[in-house]
Chains A and B, each alone.
Chain A
Amino acid sequence: MSAIEVRGLVKVYDHKVRALDGVSLDVEEGTVHALLGPNGAGKTTLIRVITTQLRPNEGSARVFGYDVVKNSSKVRELIGYVPQEVSLWSDLSGYENILIYSKIYGIPRELRSRKIEELLDFMELSEASRRLVRTYSGGMIRRLEIAIALMRSPKLLILDEPTIGLDPGARSLVWDKISEFRRENGVTVFFATHYMDEADKYADYVTLLNQGRVVAHGTPNDLKKHVKGNKVLVFFKESVDNSRLSEIVSGIPGVSISNLGNDHVELVVDDIPTKLPKILEEVFVKGYSVSEVEVREASLDEVFIKLTGRRITEESGRIKEVVSMRKMIRRGG
């Protein structure tokens, strides 16, 4: 069954901005699915439609079979959601935040304190739980928000830019916690990001979104094959016969020659870690001596550039995000 099923979704703001322009996608139950695209691609709009905050102008979206417009309250019961912006009261402590949300969510009194304790402990926030959220780091805020979203044991966890503005250490801790929770509870995760490395590393499936349209979807490896992006260059000590060289890799599936020089060969490889040893073995068996091997791994960014002509991540954008994230925390969301 699909956890999310989106068909021909169109969302127009103020009769002019087409934020979503006919989006269709499926998220399989039990998978981690990334929605990858640059700022302004429509990721947040799509998430807000799926989480029943916005009504689409055309098309439909279903969560575990329930329509987000007609059965919105049923949908809200099934999802845990962390918006991009900070969703905590910064003038309350971490414990008070999770306590208030647990009451708003109607967690029965007898389960409440055990559940809160477990989640705070799991997210490594027990010690900081009595401090005001205003004093938390960005990573702590995100972990607390995810803890709150997990409190109702949702079937589907929806995260909008979960690690935006966080430093690499905080980012990987957030993802470690999500992965750990998934191993134990098998929740489906749908997240939006513009960090391609994150989609690559943590997602089973990726949907690339640009200007309100899906430009591609598939596993990260499938997408990278699409651009023939993974390359291995093998340089030889002395020049070799071109015609003999082409035989080197003909026997290895998933490897093909993209360029031949008289002292090197450029190969397109679908999966570098498993194919590189085979390539080298073949080269040695045929009696060539290798001077240098160069590996160029494809990134989803390259896929995106090839498909749209734009980059996903722009560095200048990140600085702005960090600043606005900090402001948001200080202002007391």
Chain B
Amino acid sequence: MRSMKLASLASMAEMELRRLRHDPFEILTRAVQPILWIAVFGSVMARIRAFQNVGDYVTFITPGVILQSSTFISLAYGIALIFERESGILKKLLTSPIPRSYIVVGRALAGGIRASTQYVIVLVSAVAVGVRISGNPLNLITGYLILVLACMGFTGLSILIASLLRTRERFMGIIGAITMPLFFASNALYPIEVMPDVIKYISLANPLTYTVSALRKLLVSSSYDVLQETLILTCFTALSLGVAIKSLRRIIE
């Protein structure tokens, strides 16, 4: 019975991957922006040497750019549930014997996997412009898993927002309003030390900061000192999924 349930969880991710295979368009168009961040923004900023102690600037922002693009995809994932609410899919899932928590966790996993495709795209384009990242498979895989974990958390947040707002227009409005602040109030583009105090505190409460920090350690400085970040992100994801499960009921009422 337990393995059956796990299979039903994995099937949501499988569904997502099959959709991606039929239509990889979104993933490709989403790659345009991060490539510009790396190739244009990164290389220009690197020339003015605005920040000390960050090493090569393009290398420094590579983990941040991965997050910029994958966070957006995770946060936008909730729209799928709004579509499924308008169609009959959500009704069908909610009347099937699998527990409701599996629907949320399964979809969050699906969203996390969809978003994490940016990991490969950004890393490949970064290496293409001369960024030197760790080639150790263990680092790369650990980094990927931490990214999926964080993206599951952001997808959970997105499912929560979807079940509260319930219309596409309102949902897209809110997502647009929170994505950029989340990105800028983090260590994605600049080190925390240079931030004004207020933004520093905000960035310390921002899960994005811990994901970027973990990826930076694993991919740039080849350090495994990511336990703290992993714990914080696990708490964030567990909390966001927990609240999303509680609120899922409301989406169909």
Instruction: List chain A positions with a Cβ less than 8 A from chain B.
Output: 48, 51-54, 73, 76-77, 79, 81-89, 91-92, 96, 100-101, 103-106, 108, 132, 148, 152, 328, 331-333
Contact = CB atoms under 8 A, between A and B. Distances in A.
Nearest to A106: B4
A332 B83 contact: yes
Contacts of B96: 76, 104-105
B91 interface: yes
Interface of B: 4-5, 7-8, 10-12, 14-15, 18-19, 22-23, 83-84, 86-89, 91-99, 252-253
A85 B91 CA distance: 9
Contacts of B93: 104
7 contacts: A53-B91, A73-B97, A87-B91, A103-B11, A104-B8, A105-B97, A333-B84
A333 B83 CA distance: 6
Interface residues of chain A: helix, strand, loop or mixed (majority): loop
Given A51-B95, A106-B4, A84 B88 contact: yes
A333 B86 contact: yes
B8 A106 contact: yes
Interface residues of chain B: helix, strand, loop or mixed (majority): helix
Contacts of A103: 7-8, 10-11, 14
Given A92-B15, A333-B86, 12 more contacts: A73-B97, A82-B92, A85-B88, A89-B15, A91-B19, A92-B19, A96-B18, A103-B7, A104-B93, A106-B98, A152-B97, A332-B83
A96 to B, nearest CB: 5
Contacts of B7: 103, 106
Nearest to A327: B86
A206 to B, nearest CB: 24
A132 B11 contact: no
A100 B12 CA distance: 7
Contacts of B83: 331-333
A108 B86 contact: no
Contact of B98 (A52, A89, A104): A104
Contacts of B84: 333
A322 B11 CA distance: 32
B12 A104 contact: yes
A200 to B, nearest CB: 26
A10 to B, nearest CB: 16
A132 B22 CA distance: 9
A81 B83 CA distance: 19
